[in-house]
A and B are shown apart, each in its own frame.
Chain A
Amino acid sequence: MPLRTAAAVRLGNMSSKLSQKMGLGAGGMIGGRVALKLDPQALARLTTGRRVALVTGTNGKTTSTMMLSRAVSALGEVATNHGGANMPDGHVTALSKQPDAPYAVLEVDEGYFPEVARAAHPAVAVLLNLSRDQLDRVGEVRTIEKSLRTALAGVQGTVVANCDDIMVTSAARDSARVVWVATGTGWHNDSASCPRCGDPIRWQGEHWHCTGCDLARPRPDWITGDGFLITPQGVKVDLSLRLPGKFNQANAVMAAAAAAALGVPVEEAVQRLRAVSNVAGRYRTIQRSGHRARLLLSKNPAGWSETLTVVREADHPAVLVINAHEADGRDLSWLWDVPFEKLRGRQVIASGERATDLAVRLTYAEVEHTIVPDPLLAIDAMPQGPVEVIANYTAFRDLNARSASE
């Protein structure tokens, strides 16, 4: 490690420990921020000599990163940023904590992907899905798609991409080596028109093609089934995940395909990622005042749609928690893109700092509900037994912290 980077990393680690000691936070980012200030090339230098996998997309980044890091640990020590610190300072912090790990699996914010990919020369880049998310902060999906398209075309390694997502397909198609995964999931509301030529996209079953140019669903190498995957060699492998829902199956198959690109045998990869049961507190069940509350995180319309499908498997009461801080996006217009109508007939409480915005949405969805702004009190107000708690980003974070400390 060059002297300057070594010093930057040492200082970085010190301030990270200091910030943990002083209770300033989990220390996930501040160390990296100091290191990057002292050495702007820190990310490039810290990834040199390692095999790096980058994971990006709108939804499922944290879960897929954890799954992939578990799978890759079959090959050796893995440096990873699980915890959601997915910008360059978080990467530098994670890498400096494990300077000798020969592998790195990094979750990357989609806006930072071009910068991180240039610095890290990934052996594998995983692109999960692209949909609207925090339009007031992140910007429009098409802009993100274009910047990812340019960045991925420059990636020398393998690109693992979801071919059931039109935006992802367009972003990944120009790359030298692409492994296509049929995940069975994709958010179609942002891609009625082709990201390349603007003409309408036509769907026929699972297939889709542009009516104006040659953009079309590529032939998948990996296929996601209900509870299983099929490898490019045609081998069917049982998933038996502990995490619920179709989108976690999609995350798992993306992780298995990426692990395979790094040389992990598929059976071994699946066995390892199968063990994942709790990702930074998500899917955790808390016991409280006679309730078993399952905590589910959903940040945007695509995420909420999937989560509402998961909670539909049983008819448990639901507490929905909405905040609108900077990290959530201050604009709540997306509430109208979520099919809350699916909750009709169920016992529902609107909660969080913006419970009233949600209550208006539920009123027009004809979902009976009450308002209890404090989510823990909302859980208490439900009949005893299982409760589904779905929260957006800061609401989830705060709920997780409070439920852990009580």
Chain B
Amino acid sequence: MSSSKVQIALVLPDLLGTYGDFGNAVVLEKRLTWRGIPAEIVTVNFGEPVPDSCDIYVVGGGEDTAQTLAVRHLREHPGMQRAASRGAVILGVCAGIQIFGEHFTRADQVTHPGLGLIDSTSHAGGSRAIGEVIAEPVDGLFQGLLTGFENHQGRTVLGPSARPLARVKVGTGNDGQVEGAVQGRILCTYLHGPVLPRNPQIADLLIEWATGEKPAPLELPAVTQLRAERAKAAGV
């Protein structure tokens, strides 16, 4: 850690904050501070430089235009990419998975360069994937099911350096088969809901990567109940 507090950068919430992405940063902050590990959220707004000193970066989802602007901004201010090269933890949600890749192609067939953080490409699918998603972990990366809500048109193909986060049971994810991507300490997913409130095991995985220690158990009854309810509603 680069300072006494775990710094969680909430990256461009004013552009990429469409699906309650603030929630992911709050969950990380609270799960750290409740365990006695000082943490703070550093909000990086559109038009401001992106610091390279944070421990965790949270990048959310946004509309097409916002997404293009975000890429432009993140290329002009490459603090997050610099942090990635020294092993900082990054969570990319929805648009995140698209802009982190090599390139992404929109419904208008225009291809935009991505940030090259993960080995993937994305393109617009025929239909919009909207609804509850349930997915199973791949290679025991985390415990329990991954649950969330998706709303995206993008389809993502992973290259050999990236591996999927989970296998889809209900919903679409990257391509109807697998969901998300993991490469080094970068974790991407199409799921919001947002994803970390519903999946504390993923939040704690990111915390473990950032602090180098497995965090102490933290049981929140409402979260346990919500996970059970959403799995039941999805018929799992």
B26 touches A364 (CB 8 A): yes
Q: Does A142 contact B (CB under 8 A)?
A: yes
B192 touches A356 (CB 8 A): no
A136 touches B14 (CB 8 A): no
Contact (A333, B27) CB under 8 Å given A198-B69, A356-B229, A363-B223: no
- Which of B16-24, B81-89, B102-110 participates in binding chain A? B16-24
- Which of A16-24, A308-316, A334-342 participates in binding chain B? A334-342
The A-contacting residues of B in range 193-209, CB under 8 angstroms, are 193-194, 197-198
Partner of A193, one of B15, B149, B194, B223: B15
Q: Does A189 contact B (CB under 8 A)?
A: yes
Partner of B19, one of A135, A141, A143, A200: A135
Q: Does B225 contact A (CB under 8 A)?
A: yes
Contact (A192, B15) CB under 8 Å given A135-B151, A336-B197, A359-B226: yes
Q: Inside 8 A of A327's CB, which chain B residues have their CB? A: none
Contact (A364, B19) CB under 8 Å given A142-B65, A331-B151: no
Contact (A193, B197) CB under 8 Å given A136-B151, A356-B225: no
Chain B's closest residue to A139 (CB) is B63
Query: How many A residues are at the interface, by size bracket?
Result: 20 to 34
- Min CB–CB distance A320 → chain B (angstroms): 14
Partner of A336, one of B26, B64, B131: B26
Q: Inside 8 A of A132's CB, which chain B residues have their CB? A: 18
B1-39 vs A: 1/0 string, CB under 8 Å? 000000000000111011111110011001000000000
Q: Does A330 contact B (CB under 8 A)?
A: yes
A360 touches B14 (CB 8 A): no
A336 touches B15 (CB 8 A): no
Q: Inside 8 A of A189's CB, which chain B residues have their CB? A: 13-14, 17
B17 touches A364 (CB 8 A): no
Q: Does A332 contact B (CB under 8 A)?
A: yes
Q: Does A306 contact B (CB under 8 A)?
A: no
Q: Does A357 contact B (CB under 8 A)?
A: yes
Q: Does B220 contact A (CB under 8 A)?
A: yes
Q: Does B47 contact A (CB under 8 A)?
A: yes
Q: Inside 8 A of A366's CB, which chain B residues have their CB? A: 30
A141-B18 Cα distance, complex, nearest whole Å: 10
A371-B30 Cα distance, complex, nearest whole Å: 21
The B-contacting residues of A in range 40-70, CB under 8 angstroms, are none
- Min CB–CB distance B74 → chain A (angstroms): 14
Q: Does B142 contact A (CB under 8 A)?
A: no
Chain B's closest residue to A137 (CB) is B130
Chain B's closest residue to A359 (CB) is B222
Chain A's closest residue to B223 (CB) is A360
A359-B227 Cα distance, complex, nearest whole Å: 12
Contact (A192, B14) CB under 8 Å given A140-B63, A333-B194, A359-B226: yes
Q: Inside 8 A of A330's CB, which chain B residues have their CB? A: 131-132, 149
A333 touches B222 (CB 8 A): no
Q: Does B42 contact A (CB under 8 A)?
A: no
Q: Inside 8 A of B132's CB, which chain A residues have their CB? A: 330
Q: Inside 8 A of A200's CB, which chain B residues have their CB? A: 46-47
B222 touches A363 (CB 8 A): yes
Q: Inside 8 A of B13's CB, which chain A residues have their CB? A: 189
Chain B's closest residue to A202 (CB) is B47
A371-B221 Cα distance, complex, nearest whole Å: 11
Contact (A356, B226) CB under 8 Å given A331-B19, A335-B20: yes
Q: Inside 8 A of B27's CB, which chain A residues have their CB? A: 364
A363-B21 Cα distance, complex, nearest whole Å: 17
A334-B47 Cα distance, complex, nearest whole Å: 24
Q: Does B45 contact A (CB under 8 A)?
A: yes
A330-373 vs B: 1/0 string, CB under 8 Å? 11111111000000000000000000110111111110000100
Q: Besides the contacts A193-B15, A333-B194, A363-B222, what 18 more A-B pairs have beta carbons closer than 8 Å?
A: A135-B151, A136-B151, A189-B14, A192-B15, A193-B46, A198-B65, A198-B69, A331-B130, A331-B151, A332-B149, A333-B193, A336-B21, A356-B225, A356-B226, A356-B229, A357-B226, A360-B198, A360-B222
* Residues of B participating in the A interface, judged by any CB pair closer than 8 Å: 13-15, 17-23, 26-27, 30, 45-47, 63-66, 68-69, 130-132, 149, 151, 192-194, 197-198, 220, 222-223, 225-226, 229
Q: List 13 A-B contacts (CB under 8 A).
A: A136-B151, A189-B13, A192-B15, A198-B65, A330-B131, A330-B132, A330-B149, A331-B193, A333-B149, A336-B197, A337-B17, A359-B222, A359-B226
